[in-house]
Structure 1
């Protein structure tokens, strides 16, 4: 039972840290172009350089 005193604030802190990281990524445009990276792998680099 005494472990909850340590684990509950730790869990809340890690959850808030994850939420903060997600909101930071959202505001910085990390999720703007989800299909671009998937299509970019199909483009041949040699033909694009020409």
Structure 2
């Protein structure tokens, strides 16, 4: 019986903590775009081209193809 005096408040506290975490997720738009991440991993996006300085350095470092 004394165990229930400890377990009931602990269970209620954990339930309240879970409810607060769920409300926080809703308010911070965590559930707004559920399919975006799933689709984003499937779509091929080309990488942006390197800056001109990098292209020039790579061209100078590579041997002449002739």
Can you give the 5+ residue segments of structure 2 that lack an aligned partner in the other structure?
49-66
Alpha-carbon RMSD across the aligned residues, in angstroms, is 1.1
**Length-normalised TM-score, structure 2:** 0.67
- Return structure 1 stretches of 4+ with deviation > 4 angstroms: none
Q: Any gaps of 5 or more consecutive residues in structure 1? A: none
TM value normalised by structure 1: 0.86
Which structure has the larger Rg?
2
Q: Where do residues 30-41 of structure 1 align in structure 2 (5 Å cutoff)?
A: 30-41=30-41
Structure holding more helix per residue: 1
The count of residues paired between Structure 1 and Structure 2 equals 48
Q: Identify which of structures 1 and 2 has the higher relative contact order when contacts are C-alpha pairs closer than 8 Å and 6+ apart.
A: 1
